[in-house]
Amino acid sequence: MSGIGIIAIYSATYWKGPDLWDKQFISVLLTIPVVIIFRYIDYKILVRFAPYIYLVSLLFLGATLVLASPVKGARRWLYIGGFNFQPSELIKLALILVLADLIEAKKGEWSELFLFITCLGLTLIPFLITAMQPDLGTAVILMVIFMVTIFVSQIRIRYIIFLIGLGITSIPLAWKYLLMDYQKERILTFLDPNRDPLGAGYHIIQSKLAIGSGGLLGYGFLNGPQNRLKFIPEQHTDFIFSLIGEEFGFIGSLLVIILFLFLFTVGLYISSRSDTKAGLLMGVGIISMLCVHVFINIGMTIGLLPVTGIPLPFISYGRSGLMVNMMGIGILSSISKRRVR
């Protein structure tokens, strides 16, 4: 998938620059050892240090509200050692680790309600910070990770149902006081892209045109007209799947989806064979993190979900996301190395 990403990024930046495929290629080469290192680190050591990893990640995340320079109205990146780093990527993995550690250590000792409230509190802190950046897409992913972890841990489902019900009833308040004007516009445009075809609806309309025009086999590498004419912004990141659909058609798009489904299936199998409860929760948490990324990204490019700044794992350009995703794969590999035979 990373190889497909490098090819797609090359095509996305070939006509409009700057060339980013070489940076992504180097990033992939540098993160492959990360997978190997995490494979040979016993994941139980990561569980032991989970609270510290969470606190450090939270400090970096909070620092974005004070130290980060606005980029397109959002404060999401810290400039560290010559690189732009996005702490919201790391906090996803840190949240998975700390929830797994807490549930394994305290389930059976604490009441289920108190454990649920504690896990919810650990999730709401980064949720609110990312929402303030603003980065509502990542905030939603954090909440999905929390709900999946609670579900797998077999804490009573009624708590999750109550939380979902509370969320639904809070929609009017969120619409009035939480969502920014551009976020409201994205939702309204999702419901009716033609209400502003040259403005807020432009991305969705052009993305759907690109994917639909690709047909069965696509226009071929570097031959996508939407790509060459620069009709779709951010085609190397958020809308990279539209490029794949245009240049490689239904077959190329299906191949990408099959690769993700294969990864998710193997990941869930590894998680189910873990020798500890924490391993199960960590594995399922990592897969849910990747799965919701894929679902949101592909959903928005084909017009089934509102536009959000959620990249396609391993394929979209981005060093912070690639690093964290590779760390997740390394942890899955570590769980597999120590799973029940």
Can you read off the two tokens belonging to residue 143? 């909440």
Confidence of residue 341 (pLDDT cuts 50, 70, 90): low
Is the pLDDT at 281 greater than 90? The verdict is yes
Residue 196 predicted with pLDDT over 70: no
pLDDT for 109 equals: 81
pLDDT value of residue 193: 67
CA distance 290 to 315: 12
Residue 340: per-residue pLDDT: 64
pLDDT reading at 134 higher than 90: no
pLDDT for position 325: 95
Average pLDDT in the 141-165 region? 89
What number is the average pLDDT over the span 122-146? 91
Query: What are the boundaries of each domain within the chain?
Result: 2-337
Whole-number Å distance between alpha carbons of 46 and 285: 14
pLDDT for residue 71: 72
CA 104 to the chain's CA centroid: 25
Q: If you ran DSSP here, which 8-state letter would residue 74 be given? A: B
Output the pLDDT for position 154.
85
Cα–Cα distances (Å) from 294 to 16, 92, 163, in that order, read: 26, 15, 24
pLDDT band at 197; cut points 50, 70, 90 = low
pTM: 0.91
Give strand pairing partners of 85. Answer: 78
Number of other residues whose CB lies within 10 A of the CB of residue 298: 22
pLDDT at 79: 80
Closest of 333, 264, 276, 269 to residue 47, by C-alpha: 276
Range of lowest pLDDT (189-203, 239-253, 256-270, 293-307): 189-203
Smallest Cα–Cα separation from 329: which of 101, 10, 28?
28
Residue 256 φ/ψ region, left for φ over 0, alpha for ψ in the -120 to 50 degree band, beta for the rest = alpha
Reference 279, options 118, 122, 153, 116; nearest CA is 153
What mean pLDDT comes out for the span 287-307? Answer: 91
How far apart (Å, rounded) are the C-alpha atoms in residues 207 and 257?
17
Per-residue confidence (pLDDT) for residue 305, from 0 to 100: 85
pLDDT of residue 1: 94
Q: What pLDDT score was predicted for residue 195?
A: 66
The confidence band for 107, taking pLDDT boundaries of 50, 70 and 90, is: confident
More confident residue, 163 or 285: 285
> Are the CB atoms for 295 and 308 separated by under 8 Å?
no
Query: What would the mean pLDDT of 106-113 be, rounded to a whole number?
Result: 85
What mean pLDDT is reported for the chain?
A: 88
Residue 312: how many other CB atoms lie within 10 Å? 27
User: Quick one: three-class SS letters along 279-311?
Assistant: HHHHHHHHHHHHHHHHHHHHHHHCCCCCCCCCC
pLDDT at 131 over 80: yes
Per-residue pLDDT, 172 = 82
pLDDT in tens, 252-280: 999 999 999 999 999 999 999 998 999 99
How much is the average pLDDT of 230-250? 88
Which residue pairs from 267-275 have beta carbons closer than 8 angstroms and sit at least 24 positions apart in sequence? 267/332, 270/332, 270/335, 270/336, 270/339, 271/332, 271/335, 273/336, 273/339, 273/340, 274/335, 274/338, 274/339, 274/340, 275/338, 275/339, 275/340
pLDDT value, residue 4: 94
Q: Are 30 and 319 in contact (CB under 8 A)?
A: no
Range of 74-88, 167-181, 221-235, 314-328 with top mean pLDDT: 314-328
Alpha helix (H) ranges present in the chain? 2-14, 21-40, 43-48, 50-67, 87-106, 112-132, 136-152, 157-169, 171-173, 181-191, 202-213, 225-228, 240-272, 277-301, 319-337
